[in-house]
Structure 1
Amino acid sequence: MALRKGGTLMLRSLFPQGTVLRVAPNIFFFLSHYLRGTEGVKLGRCHRHRWREAPGKRTRLRSRVEGTGAEERLAWTCPRLPRRRGVGVLGRTEAGGSLREPGPGQRDANELSAAAEGAGVRSELESSDRPRQLWRLEVSEGLLSMFPLAEKDKTIARLLFSTGTCPRCIFRFCCVDFHAPYKLPYKDLLRELENFLRTEDDALTLEATEPPPKKIRLQDTEAQIDDRSQNGGEMTTVVKDENMVLEKPYLNACNLCLGILQEFCEKKFIKKVCQKVESSGYEFVNLVFSVSFPPQLSVREHAAWLLVKQEMGKQGLSLGRDDIVQLKEAYKWITYPLFSEELGVPVDGKSLFEVSVIFAHPETDEDCHFLSTSCPDCFKPAKNKQSVFTRMAVVKALDKIKEEDFRKKFPCPPNSPKVFCSAVEIECAHGAVFVAGRYNKYSRNLPQTPWIIDGERKLESSVEELISNQLLTVFKAESFNFSSSGREDVDVRTLGNGRPFAVELVNPRRVRFTSQDIKELQQKINISSDKIQVRDLQLVTKEAIGHMKEGEEVKTKTYSALVWIDKAIQKKDIEFLDGLKDLQINQKTPLRVLHRRPLAIRARIIHTMETHYIDEHHFRLHLKTQAGTYIKEFVHGDFGRTKPNIGSLMNGTADILELDVESVDVDWPPALDD
């Protein structure tokens, strides 16, 4: 590990041995500025996506380089350390061969040559005739990483670090919005942050101080641990080495994130969540990861923002609340790759499978309570809410409260907690899956849905249950919701192509089915009962169900009714009904459904009628009507609530003995080939 003077960038183990990166020329030169003299890194040109050693020779570098428009670089190899290379980039030569002044991050050729010879290594000049579009960075040992804080961030970083803020939260408040630094191991971040904040005077003091005897240092360190732990100070651990003893900060809960960006970003916790996922029995090809943080985190972040904003104001700078990287974003940057690696599936925000973690921190629950007196209108009781201090309510109150009032009632910076927050719930859930098809009903003693009156079940089964119970078992779902394009009465059959239906399966654990699996499931439903049959069974989307609902009121339906008439009739007495087209009727809400439907007068259209004479008191009537028409009431009149009706048209009293639905003209779901 090498740390460049100034502490802005450092080398770290970020890529495994053998990693190859292809980068654009401008990125190459930026990296080379910080990689010169680094062990375990090799840089070179990549020609047409192939690695090619640039032509060159071992020589002493000169300040004047021959060639036009060539990119020059110095590479040196240390024979004593295999696979260790260092690189320094020169400038670009102008026409005539004169070397430009070294730009930012470039060193003079004489300086590089002297540095190489002083280190006792061989030097090599490599050049090419023209610049390449792609350059190659090969990491042969160790890894590359950038420490994200610059010199301008040192004041804020030191301020936050001294108050008990973790490195990742310091990055957030220094507006570090790229992912790589957050993903580094926490202990490494802590060490590098300390190195970054250490002044040159501190380094000189450490080097000049005569170390005490090992025994004394061990005793003093142990005494400090006991004393500081008893007083709630920072815990330390002693690392024993052959030549020296080092003190390193241990993990204390951050005063801003309460430990969420500390131990809950480690692989140990990720594995715990993944074990819960794998044991839940769900099938999934991707997942969405959601977290619920304690609302007091917003209060603590607000306090830190006021502190940092005040400090930056002294430097003539500003910091908006939106400039700070959100805790949830930083947490996702760190954990998403870990989840993908552990479970072997991508994290996708559109996935139906959700893994959620709920965090809590009882020690700081009262952090929000002062807001209820300052902004009482923001905290109102709501249904299904255990506490009025929800995250949205707290954020709303923080937007309203004045800064001076906040400072009086809450410490800035916030106090350090004694313990970490905890993950109180780890839950898995899968979004609903929808299955659609068409059903035929052959029984005149089977309701569409369970028939229960005053808590008493009238019939033992229903269309809904015969279909959905089979689906519930196969999909391993918790519950279901059944819907259809209209409904028939208990004594009405549904024939023809059947009635479209859809079943919403809530939180299913099995979701991966082939077309053959669905076909076998359809056969299983049909074998289970002779009262119904299912066809065109298929998986559909939630949006597609809207086509079925649209057809309920727009499409037409065809019926067949067996009609009885009180007076004796001949065939010629009913033939006039065949000639009636688009007959408009007005139907007041039928008495039999008035308990569940609002009282209203509905206009409906009888498009066509066709009669078949049976005997002097019976005939069969085939009707094509507007969806939503009450056919029974159209026949017998419902005590005059439907006008006109078959009885009034024939100047007699009519009644309906049997009714069948022959077709429901909704082109959904799509027909499947058997």
Structure 2
Amino acid sequence: MLPLKEKDKPIARKLLTAGCCARCVLRFCCVSTQASYRQPLQVDVLRLPSVFRSFTGAMWCDPSQKGVWGEKYSMHFTNMCSVCFINFVKFSCVSQIAQTIKSEDYQFDTLVLSVSLPAQLCVREVSFYVLADVQEKGLALDKDDVIQVKEAFKWVMQNLLLKELSGVAVVTKSTFEVGVEFNHPDTDSVFTRMAVIKALEKIPDATFLRQYPCPPAQPTRCCYLPDIQCLHLSVFIAGRYNKFCRSLPQTPWLIDGERRMESSVEELIAEHVLSAFRAAGFNFSSSGREDVDVRTLGTGRPFAMELLNPHRSRFSRAEMKQLQETINKSSEKIRVRDLQIVSREAMSRMKEGEEDKSKSYTALVWTHKSIQEEDLAFIHNIKDLVVDQKTPLRVLHRRALAVRPRVIHSMSTRFLDSHHFYLELKTQAGTYIKEFVHGDFGRTKPNMCQLLNSDTDILELDVEVRKMCIVFFGSI
């Protein structure tokens, strides 16, 4: 028996007479018991409580048989509802939704159902509310307590989809979302649903009654499902990479829309990750970046990737290890380590305090003036040298003009010949090493040219990443 009470009698009479389906009667009677909406139509008809039999003085019976009430009310059971359009009775869309989910082949345990309804439904909803509330001043009908069509639809769909998808539960929160968008051929697409809702909130009931029929006319066409969208929340992976090539940018290098290098670190990694997770796209980020001609050595630069709409989301440690090996075998230009799935929070922590970290570099330096090994000895004694760096000319097109103080914590040298030596530096993150060596036309002060009293330039540069720089995930 449906959970309706004597007080619901006036509302239910008006709704039934106006062509409202049984479940919309429950909604307007503020019934929040989910199981009531899941009952099949035959149960709705045969088990309506005795209070409804007194509406017409007739016995409720199966609409397939002849009867007084059946002739008067059976129309709304066999045709579409005057309010919701969806036809709660048959739900022919269940198989369509389930088939779409299966065909997309996502990996998931639960799903959340997102429902979008045509704007016309909002107007009809208000019409039936005004019908019940204005004409019966004594009714205790609170608009905020009326169950929304979306909620009722989800309640009915839970069990139906549970059967279709072999036990996958429809829940209120999940990493996998199925978007069901209902359209109606008679709904004007000029106005958005939200615009209609806001307009209806401002219209008094009396004005609404003058402009729109209450109840509205029986619809001749029902809603249809033009689109069903499946979406999995992003999955985040992280690791460290080494770059051994001096002609490989970290990310695709485009200038004026023209590509300058055939590949990048990002693309070499993403090619295999996207394929494994069957993701629609990705966002790549790292702890700092190196120039195209700079190698990244040591334990590797930490990086993270957000994988958009992945069809596969669960990997064991062994599978992640195999994916890492696949990436490393695909190219000699890079190497990846510590590849693993992480949380969104771990990804954000990678960027925290980046400017406060220290970086180690090795630079091959050329000097115009002939030097001896003893000419470099004083460099070893320089500690915590503060340099003021005006935005370098080479990045001025993409960075604001400013003077940034940076600290060079320590330096050491390895003499090669009278015009070449290796300079090893430990610096504050964000220090422009190339500009410190050649001076950038005096935009970095002090610089190596001033320290050696000779023109100097940098021929090669490697960044030596130490594991102590950033540790936000462990090793595999």
Indicate whether the TM-score tops 0.5: yes
Per-residue CA deviations over 1:233-287 (Å, capped at 9, x if unaligned) read xxx97559xxxxx8654422111111253333xxx43232112211112121221
Aligned position for 1:168: 23
| Compared CA separation, residues 303 and 201, structure 1 to 2 (3 A) | closer
- When the two structures are aligned, how many residues end up with a matched partner? 469
Deviations along 1:590-633, one digit per CA (max 9) or x if unpaired, are 11112222222222221222222222222211111111111101
| Letter paired with 1:609 | M
8 Å contact from structure 1 (residues 303, 414) kept in 2: yes
Q: For residue 334 of structure 1, report the CA deviation from its aligned partner.
A: 1.5
Cα distance in structure 1, aligned partners of 2:447 and 2:364 = 15
Distance in 2 separating the partners of 1:581 and 1:200: 94
Cα distance between partner residues in 2 of 1:260 and 1:638: 73
| Alpha-carbon separation, structure 2, partners of 1:602 and 1:585 | 8
2:397 paired with 1:595: yes
User: Judging changes above 3 Å, is the alpha-carbon distance between structure 1 residues 515 and 296 closer, same or farther for their aligned structure 2 residues?
Assistant: same
Correspondence for 2:207 = 405
Task: Give the structure 1 partner of residue 159 of structure 2.
Answer: 337
User: Quick one: distance in 1 between partners of 2:411 and 2:343?
Assistant: 37
CA distance in 1 between counterparts of 2:11 and 2:65 reads: 30
Q: Which residue of 2 aligns with 1:357?
A: 180
Quote the residue 1:618 is aligned against. 420
Q: Tell me the CA shift for residue 322 of structure 1.
A: 0.7
Question: 2:183 touches 2:226 (CA, 8 Å); kept in 1?
Answer: yes
Equivalent in the alignment of 1:271: 95
Larger Rg: 1
**Contact 1:547–1:668 under 8 Å retained in 2:** no
User: Conserved in 2, the CA contact under 8 Å of 1:312 and 1:319?
Assistant: no
- 1:157 alignment partner in structure 2: 12
Q: Does 1:423 align with 2:225?
A: yes
The structural deviation recorded for 1:203 is: 4.0
Match of 2:473 in 1: 670
8 A Cα contact 1:560 1:621, kept in partner: yes
Q: 2:121 aligned to 297, 309, 333, which one? A: 297
Query: 1:200 and 1:309, CA in 2 relative to 1: closer, same or farther beyond 3 A?
Result: closer
CA distance in 1 between counterparts of 2:55 and 2:20 reads 23
TM-score where L is the length of structure 1: 0.66
Which structure 2 segments of 5+ residues have no match?
Answer: none
TM-aligned CA deviation for residue 293 of structure 1:
0.8
State the partner residue of 2:34. 179
Does structure 1 retain, via aligned residues, the 8 Å contact 2:93–2:225?
A: no
Q: Give the deviation of 1:650 after TM superposition.
A: 2.3
Q: Is 1:466 matched up with 2:268?
A: yes
Partner of 1:256: 83
Q: Which stretch of structure 1 is more off in the superposition, 448-457 or 542-551?
A: 448-457
Aligned-partner Cα distance in 1 for 2:399–2:12: 67
**What letter matches 1:345 in structure 2?**
V
**Is 2:409–2:426's contact at 8 Å kept on the other side of the alignment?**
yes
Deviations 1:380-419 (A, max 9, x none): xxxxxxx552222222222222222222211222222112
1: CA distance, partners of 2:185 / 2:56:
42
Give yes or no for contact 2:237–2:305 (8 Å, CA) kept in 1. Answer: yes
Q: Distance in 2 between matches of 1:477 and 1:148?
A: 46
- Given the superposition, is the C-alpha separation of residues 449 and 402 from structure 1 closer, same or farther in structure 2, using an over 3 Å criterion? same
Amino acid at match of 1:263: K
> Where does 1:82-101 land on structure 2 (aligned, <5 Å)?
none
State the alpha-carbon separation in 2 of the partners of residues 580 and 412 from structure 1. Answer: 87
Q: Distance in 2 between matches of 1:590 and 1:349?
A: 52
Residues 321-356 of structure 1, C-alpha deviations (whole Å, 9 max, x = no match): 212111111112211232223312222333221111
The code of the aligned residue for 1:335 comes to M
Question: What letter is aligned with 2:108?
Answer: F
Q: Counterpart of 2:109? A: 285
Return closer, same or farther for 1:405/1:297 CA change in 2, 3 Å cut-off: same
Matches within 5 A, 1:442-521: 442-521=244-323
For residues 563 and 252 of structure 1, do their structure 2 counterparts lie closer, same or farther at Cα, with a shift above 3 Å needed? same
The 1:190/1:200 distance shift into structure 2, 3 A limit, reads closer
Are the aligned partners of 2:185 and 2:221 in contact in 1 as well (CA < 8 Å)? no
Q: Give the CA deviation at 1:660.
A: 0.3
Output the CA distance in 2 between the equivalents of 1:156 and 1:201.
Answer: 14
**Partner of residue 21, structure 1:** none
| Native 8 Å contact 1:285 1:345 kept in 2 | yes
The answer on whether the counterparts of 1:436 and 1:669 sit within 8 Å (CA) in structure 2 is no
Task: State the secondary structure of the residue aligned to 1:560.
Answer: strand
* Offset, 1:488: 0.8
Q: Deviations over 1:447-494 (max 9, x none)?
A: 112223333332222111111101111212222222111111111100
- Report if the CA contact (8 A) 1:612-1:619 is conserved: yes
For 2:87 and 2:182, the matched residues in 1 are separated by 9
The one-letter code of the counterpart of 1:156 is: I
Change (3 A) 1:341 1:237: closer
Distance change >3 Å, CA 390–CA 156, structure 1 → 2: same
Residue correspondence of structure 1 range 35-54 to structure 2 within 5 A: none
Alpha-carbon distance, 1:572 to partner: 3.1
1:376 aligns with none
SS in 1 for 2:127: helix
Give deviations 1:519-560, integer Å, cap 9, x for gaps: 111111111111111100001122211111224323211111
**Structure 1, unpaired ranges of 5+:** 1-145, 208-235, 241-245, 367-386
Q: Give the aligned partner of residue 436 of structure 2.
A: 634
Q: Secondary structure at the match of 2:110?
A: coil
Q: CA deviation at 1:200?
A: 8.3
Higher RCO (CA-CA < 8 Å; seq separation 6+): 2
Q: Secondary structure at the match of 2:414?
A: strand
What's the C-alpha RMSD, in Å, of the aligned pairs?
A: 2.4
Residue pair 1:443, 1:493 contacting (<8 A) in 2 also: yes
User: Following the alignment from structure 1 to structure 2, what is the Cα–Cα distance between the partners of residues 348 and 172?
Assistant: 20
Match of 1:254, SS state, is coil
CA 1:405–1:310: 2 relative to 1, 3 Å: closer
